[in-house]
């Protein structure tokens, strides 16, 4: 059984390296140490469901496919709603393999690739040389990712502001209830004192 799992992992790693480097399993990957740039197909830097550039660390499923965290959460919730299931098992949209919640991992390799693209874009934007088409594409990809991060942070900020307003409203209501209770208690005490005084 261990040999089977090890063979699956080796096969998965070979496919992943081949996908990232753009080579097939029949050709050797050339040594790239010290290379300034490596061209990577930008489709691996986008979610295959929503086609957006990953704004944060994407999720790697147990089957080996990568999606943005938002799409994975949507898949889990949709499956739970459709099946009225209590567990968060869902099917990978690419290969239809069932994925359990504990089979979702962070894909730091893709995140590192995106960070390196941002670093290259930053270096190239400071250079005095006119940009090539590769540099323009790199800058565009880095800008897309930055825009997604900004949009995500703005949405979080908006949601937090709404929560803050709702909390303030609840606090005002609670203060009003407490004040009303205290005033009611004092009025009752005054009526009792007045009744005792008159009798």
Tens digits of residue pLDDT in 44-74: 788 999 888 887 888 999 999 999 888 998 8
Q: 133-198 vs 108-126: helix axis angle to the nearest 10? A: 110
Helix (H, G, I), strand (E, B) or coil at 94: coil
What integer is the mean pLDDT of 144-154? 79
pLDDT(32) > 60: no
Ranges of beta strands (E only) in the chain are 59-61, 66-67, 90-91, 98-99, 104-106
Give first-to-last CA distance, the chain, whole Å.
92
| Annotated domain spans of the chain | 38-58+107-198
Q: pLDDT (tens digit, 9 = 90+) per residue, 112-125? A: 877 877 777 777 66
């Amino acid at each position: 059984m261990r040999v089977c799992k090890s063979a699956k992992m080796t096969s998965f790693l070979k496919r992943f390296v081949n996908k990232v480097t753009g080579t097939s399993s029949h050709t050797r990957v050339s040594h790239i140490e010290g290379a300034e740039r490596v061209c990577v197909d930008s489709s691996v830097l986008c979610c295959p469901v929503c086609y957006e550039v990953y704004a944060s660390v994407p999720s790697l499923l147990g089957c080996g496919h990568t999606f943005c965290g938002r799409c994975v959460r949507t898949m889990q919730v949709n499956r739970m709603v459709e099946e009225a299931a209590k567990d968060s098992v869902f099917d990978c949209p690419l290969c239809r393999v069932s994925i359990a919640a504990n089979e979702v991992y962070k894909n730091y390799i893709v995140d590192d690739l995106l960070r390196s693209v941002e670093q290259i874009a930053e270096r190239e934007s400071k250079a005095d040389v006119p940009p090539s088409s590769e540099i323009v594409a790199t800058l565009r990809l880095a800008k897309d990712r930055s825009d997604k991060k900004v949009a995500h942070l703005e949405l979080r900020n908006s949601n937090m502001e709404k929560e803050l307003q709702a909390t303030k409203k609840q606090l005002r209501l609670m203060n009003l209830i407490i004040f009303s209770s205290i005033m009611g208690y004092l009025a009752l005490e005054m009526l009792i004192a007045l009744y005792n005084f008159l009798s």
